[in-house]
A and B are shown apart, each in its own frame.
Chain A
Amino acid sequence: MYLKVRAVDVVRVPPERFGEDIVSTVKELLEEKLEGRLDKKVGMFIAILDVISIGEGRILIGDAGIYYETVFDTLVYRPKLQEITEGEVVEVVEFGAFIEIGPLDGLLHISQITDEYISYDEKGGRLVGKESGKSLTAGERVRARIVAISLNEKEPSDSKIGLTMRQPGLGTYKWLEEERAKKQQEELK
């Protein structure tokens, strides 16, 4: 989920930027430093929203920069176990599908798509259920649950997020729509 977090960090302002407005300089430097970075505890930094306060600068020996401890509000994406998430299928492969959930991609393993047997249609680039004919292709919107998280701070794109759709109320929008229609018809009877 996306969170607005108040965080504290130390940022180095290089000497060539001393004359500028400190708040906007610090904000810019924080953006440069943090945006796109992944922290296991905090999550992935999407944007620096506001600089709340800037402490007294510190000068270290042998370094012309000034180090400011700053408090700021930031927007982060933090995947959480058991969280229901919606996203778009970006790629379908033999062993499952990759779902874009926020700034990270989650893997929906082939065994976690439906309760029935599912096979990979290489030509069509899609996954098809054996009995119901339910299919999954790139570009579709799905609702899934996060069941595994393994984040890699150094290489955020190497992070692994496991998803499942084998639960009631989960699946592609199309399946959910069909299910809803079916239920309504049954009620009419």
Chain B
Amino acid sequence: MMKKEDVAGNEIIKREKYTKYEKARIIGARALQIAMGAPVLIDTDKTDPIEIAIEEFKKGVIPITVRRRRW
């Protein structure tokens, strides 16, 4: 964790890692996309969209970011 201040001087805490909830949300969203026909971004022998999504997440290639509302 890292402490930072925004323009207004409010202290904001920026997490460098995803929480387990965010991780689940990202992998879930990505797995749904793959299941619905989105192109896969890695070379893999896996066929299960969830497993493909997990592998993509581990390699850091999923083009999804998290918008955090309050921290």
A interface residues, Cβ below 8 angstroms from B: 14-16, 18-19, 59, 62, 64
A59 to B36, Cβ gap below 8 A?
no
3 closest pairs, A vs B, by CB? A16-B37, A15-B38, A64-B36
User: Per a CB cutoff under 8 Å, which of B29, B34, B37 touches A59?
Assistant: B29
Q: How large is the interface on B (under 10, 10 to 19, 20 to 34, 35 or more residues)?
A: 10 to 19
User: CB within 8 Å of A: which of B1-58?
Assistant: 29, 32-39
Report the separation of the CA atoms of residues A65 and B63 in the bound assembly, to the nearest whole angstrom: 14
Interface residue B61 (Cβ < 8 Å from any Cβ of A): no
Report the separation of the CA atoms of residues A59 and B36 in the bound assembly, to the nearest whole angstrom: 14
B39 proximity list for chain A (CB < 8 A): 18-19
Name the distance in Å between A132's Cβ and chain B's nearest Cβ: 67
Name the distance in Å between B65's Cβ and chain A's nearest Cβ: 9
Report the separation of the CA atoms of residues A59 and B30 in the bound assembly, to the nearest whole angstrom: 10
Name the distance in Å between B17's Cβ and chain A's nearest Cβ: 20
A18 to B38, Cβ gap below 8 A?
yes
Name the distance in Å between A85's Cβ and chain B's nearest Cβ: 46
Report the separation of the CA atoms of residues A62 and B64 in the bound assembly, to the nearest whole angstrom: 15
Please name the residue on chain B nearest to A66 by beta carbon.
B33
Please name the residue on chain A nearest to B38 by beta carbon.
A15
Report the separation of the CA atoms of residues A59 and B38 in the bound assembly, to the nearest whole angstrom: 14
A62 proximity list for chain B (CB < 8 A): 32
A19 proximity list for chain B (CB < 8 A): 38-39
Name the distance in Å between B35's Cβ and chain A's nearest Cβ: 7
A14 proximity list for chain B (CB < 8 A): 36-37
Report the separation of the CA atoms of residues A18 and B32 in the bound assembly, to the nearest whole angstrom: 13
Report the separation of the CA atoms of residues A59 and B32 in the bound assembly, to the nearest whole angstrom: 11
